[in-house]
Amino acid sequence: MARYLISFILLSFSVAVLHSESYKDFYKKIKENNKVIRIGEINKSIAEKNYEKDTILARTQYEKLTAEIAYITALSGYQDTVKAVHNEIFSRLLNTAIKQIEYQITDYEKRVAYLDYEYEKKLHQLSSANSVNMNEALISYRETELDLRQAEWEKTEALRIFLEYTGFEWSEDFLDVVGEYDYKKITEKSWTLQDPAVKKAGLQSELAEYAQKELPDNAAAYARQLAKMEYEKSLLQLEKARADSVLKYRTVIQELGFFTETLRLLKENIKAYEGELQEAAARYKKRIISEKEYVQKKMYSLTLQKNYYENLQKYMASLVSYVIGTDMEFDEVLK
DSSP one-letter string for 65-122 = HHHHHHHHHHHHHHHHHHHHHHHHHHHHHHHHHHHHHHHHHHHHHHHHHHHHHHHHHH
Candidate from 51-55, 179-183, 241-245, 271-275 with smallest mean pLDDT: 179-183
Task: For 214-241, write each residue's pLDDT tens digit.
Answer: 899 888 999 999 999 999 999 999 999 9
Neighbours of 276 (CB within 10 A): 12
Give this prediction's pTM.
0.83
Q: Is the pLDDT of residue 128 over 70?
A: no
Residue pLDDT, tens place only, 281-307: 999 999 999 999 999 999 999 999 999
Q: Which domains does the chain have, with CATH numbers?
A: 2-333 (1.20.1600.10)
Span 43-65, average pLDDT = 93
Of 15-19, 81-85, 215-219, 233-237, where does mean pLDDT reach its minimum?
A: 15-19
